[in-house]
Amino acid sequence: MYCSPFVVFWLAMRITGHTVLVTGGASGIGFAMAQRFLAEGNTVIICGRREDKLREARGLLPGLATRVSDLADPLQRIELAAWAVKQFPSLDVLVNNAGIQRRLSLLQTLEWDELHTELAINLEAPIHLSTLLVPHLRKMPQPAVINVSSGLAYVPLAITPIYSATKAAIHSYTLSLRHQLAPHVEVIEIAPPAVNTDLGGPGLHTWGVPLDEFADAAFAQLRSGSTEISYGFSEDAKQATAEGRHEMFERMNKR
């Protein structure tokens, strides 16, 4: 499809001068995004459960605003959104990045509360925070919601069944959100491949793409106006045919 340079310019998210809330911004991909947004002259607020990690992030990136918040809890999401709008009336970008990943055997007896926590953090929180903040965001001149999904949205990793399902759901929700919010709020999806962070616990993702390599590539795509950001495995999975995805599933989930 032909897109005139004017249209591309108009659609591309301006990368500076925003006030950005990054959930889970004290570590991993969220921290790398917060670092890059700050360097580009944005005001950046991060949240997470661990006060010490937030303090450490503030030490590394002076100028960050931080807030302790457990996004598994709907009340804390409401408090976070109200606090952010009150303290930062210029808030115009929400980055739904916080997430956890659990490896589970579905043959075992599992407690619903435990399963639900992963659903609550990875799926309910981004939907709830978007719902809470869109009425504010849409009043701003160039607002955006950025949802962090995963390559596993396209091809599930069977040992992380709830995680993979939440990422497929976030991918789907992002398509609908983009459709409904256009042209008021730009909606962007970042689908990382495996990246070397502490996701799922230290040491489980050391084989992934180096964090800075991924964050630089994602930010370059953001700067160029892409609304569907992927890299390496997630790009391959997104572009694959149904048959290709089936083959990827078989390969990834060999017993």
Ligand X SMILES: NC(=O)c1ccc[n+]([C@@H]2O[C@H](COP(=O)([O-])OP(=O)(O)OC[C@H]3O[C@@H](n4cnc5c(N)ncnc54)[C@H](OP(=O)(O)O)[C@@H]3O)[C@@H](O)[C@H]2O)c1
Interface positions with ligand X (CB under 6 A): 23-24, 26-30, 47-50, 53, 69-72, 97-100, 121, 148, 150, 192, 194-195, 197-199, 205, 208
What would the two tokens of residue 194 be?
Answer: 């495996």
Give the strand order in the sheet containing 19-23: 65-68, 43-48, 19-23, 93-96, 144-148, 186-191, 228-230
Shortest approach of ligand X to residue 205 CB, angstroms? Answer: 5
Burial of 16 (0-12, 13-18, 19+ CB in 10 A): exposed
Preceding amide of 183 cis, omega within 30 = yes
Helix boundaries (H) for the chain: 5-11, 28-39, 51-60, 74-87, 112-119, 125-137, 161-181, 211-223, 233-239, 242-252
Nearest CB to ligand X, comparing residues 78 and 182: 78
Shortest approach of ligand X to residue 52 CB, angstroms? Answer: 9
Shortest approach of ligand X to residue 154 CB, angstroms? Answer: 11
Nearest CB to ligand X, comparing residues 123 and 185: 123
Nearest CB to ligand X, comparing residues 91 and 121: 121
Shortest approach of ligand X to residue 133 CB, angstroms? Answer: 15
Nearest CB to ligand X, comparing residues 142 and 228: 228
- Whether 163 is catalytic is yes
Catalytic residue chosen out of the listed positions 154, 163, 173, 231: 163
What would the two tokens of residue 210 be?
Answer: 């180096």
Residue nearest ligand X, Cβ-based = 28
The catalytic residues are 163
